[in-house]
A and B are shown apart, each in its own frame.
Chain A
Amino acid sequence: MIDLYLYGTLAVLLLVAAIRLLLHSGPGAAAQRARREDPSRFFPVHCRYFPQMRQLFSIEDADFLATRGSPALLQRWRADRKHAALLYLSSLREDFAGLNRLSRNLARHAANLEAKQQAQVIGLNLQFQLLYTLATAQILMGLPAGAELQRITRLVAGLGGRLEKVALAPYPSSGSLIP
């Protein structure tokens, strides 16, 4: 009986997924995608303001305000800072999504495409999603980050580096791209 539930559920879920995917791959969806794929939307804009935003994330300001301002002012400042930080993070995600779309468009029109190259892009994408989730959680929880979060961050960064090394190994000309 378990087999029946397993196979039945699997078949229904896959069918529903296929119908949803088919509805998004028709000619109408292509026209909508073409509008979204205006070249200016691909390029990252928000990440340019990182130096200004970096100040927002520094803990020195909070220490200073705690000694000089009232508790109400400090609370309001913290709430506003949290709001601005979340907005900035979501803008970074927009930047990344644009690059991701550009990367897939380039791949679509490539005459030759290595599976490893695509795995690299998927790896970068996964790394970003993980980092984004961690950063959002950190901002929502308040400052500073706990030791556990720092440990996970190091783990993700290390994994990203290893993925990058593996993916770039067969492409010597891309070696200069490693920051």
Chain B
Amino acid sequence: MDSLHLSQWLGDLSTLALVGVCTLALKRRLWGLMPWFTTYLLLVLGADGLRWLVLQTSGFRSAGYSWTWWMTQTLLVAARGAALVDLCRAALSQYTGVWQAARLLLFGSACTLLLAAALRTAGKAGITSYLVFVERELELAIVVVVVLLLIVSRYYGVELERPLGGIAFGLIFYSSIVVITSSILIEPLDVSWPVFSLARTLAYLVAEGAWAYAMRLPFTERARPPLTTAAEFELASGAVDQRMRELNARILQILKR
């Protein structure tokens, strides 16, 4: 079996797995927690169906198939970005103060990365190569934002409950592989399209596995954490800050002895 047939076979397997993931998502009522991620999963299913139709009518090496593949891919990257907003909101929004401070950081980072991507991809000739560049930059932005979200969650001790951890892993794993494969494709290396496609399909299968595993059991009801008022917080954090400053003063005294 050559890489082209293996890639097509794995593509079919990935579509089957996606049907399973979508069924699980609908069964678990994932749209209540993550509406954009649920939409993204259904969009991937629709894009797979459209690609299959064009593949059957025009063939793998046709311009029509290439065009359909890249156009749907661009739409899916944008949908993945929306799913990422869902993930950040679902992970942090219960902690209103943390969410208030973190969304500034996450939104700011995403905007900076997108602006940098627009500057780096400007002036690239050829629609296909342009889309490869854009896709790589957008996927990199997704990877960075997921890592930032995980850092913020770790910093404040916010636990990523099921299915959020698995969904985050699936998103970041696939996006990382896309960044690597797109970088290989951009360079003048002797890597054929089926090999490139095979690597991505395998990565997507891993992501689907992570999503299915995260949704294997019914979601537990998320208890709303107790929150303090602004006055209570200012009083308590003021006392802690003062202690911190005292400790810094102690070390300064040691240094200045």
Contact = CB atoms under 8 A, between A and B. Distances in A.
B234 A171 contact: yes
Interface of A is mostly: helix
A27 B53 CA distance: 44
A177 B234 CA distance: 11
A44 B244 CA distance: 9
A145 B101 CA distance: 40
Interface in A88-142: 89, 92, 95-96, 99-100, 102-115, 117-118, 120-121, 124-125, 127-128, 131-132, 134-135, 138
Given A89-B254, A110-B97, A104 B157 contact: yes
B119 to A, nearest CB: 15
Given A107-B98, A115-B101, A177-B242, A160 B248 contact: yes
Contact of A113 (B101, B251, B252, B257): B101
Contacts of B96: 110-112
Contact of A14 (B105, B172, B238): B172
B229 A111 contact: yes
Contacts of A44: 243, 247
Interface in A1-51: 1, 3-4, 7-8, 10-12, 14-15, 17-19, 21-22, 24-27, 29-30, 33, 37, 44, 47, 50
A76 interface: no
Interface string B150-163: 11011111111100
Interface in B213-240: 225-230, 233-234, 236-238, 240
A113 B100 CA distance: 6
A75 interface: no
A166 interface: no
A57 B254 contact: yes
A98 to B, nearest CB: 9
Contacts of B104: 115
A132 B234 contact: no
A81 to B, nearest CB: 12
Interface in B168-196: 168-169, 172-173, 176-177, 179-180, 182-184, 186-187, 189
Contacts of A131: 248, 251-252, 255
Interface residues of A, number: 76
Interface in A137-165: 138, 145, 149-150, 153, 157, 160, 164
Nearest to B232: A110
Interface stretch (B16-24, B37-45, B140-148): B140-148
B23 to A, nearest CB: 25
Interface string B80-99: 00000000000000011110
Contacts of A70: none
A10 B151 CA distance: 16
Given A25-B153, A157-B252, A110 B233 contact: yes
Interface string B34-66: 000000000000000000000000000000000
Considering the complex of A and B, which 7 residue pairs feature the smallest CB-CB distances, nearest first? A113-B97, A110-B97, A21-B150, A11-B179, A7-B183, A110-B233, A15-B176
Given A8-B183, A124-B241, A124-B244, 14 more contacts: A7-B183, A14-B176, A47-B247, A92-B251, A106-B237, A108-B225, A109-B225, A110-B230, A110-B233, A111-B230, A112-B96, A128-B251, A153-B255, A177-B238
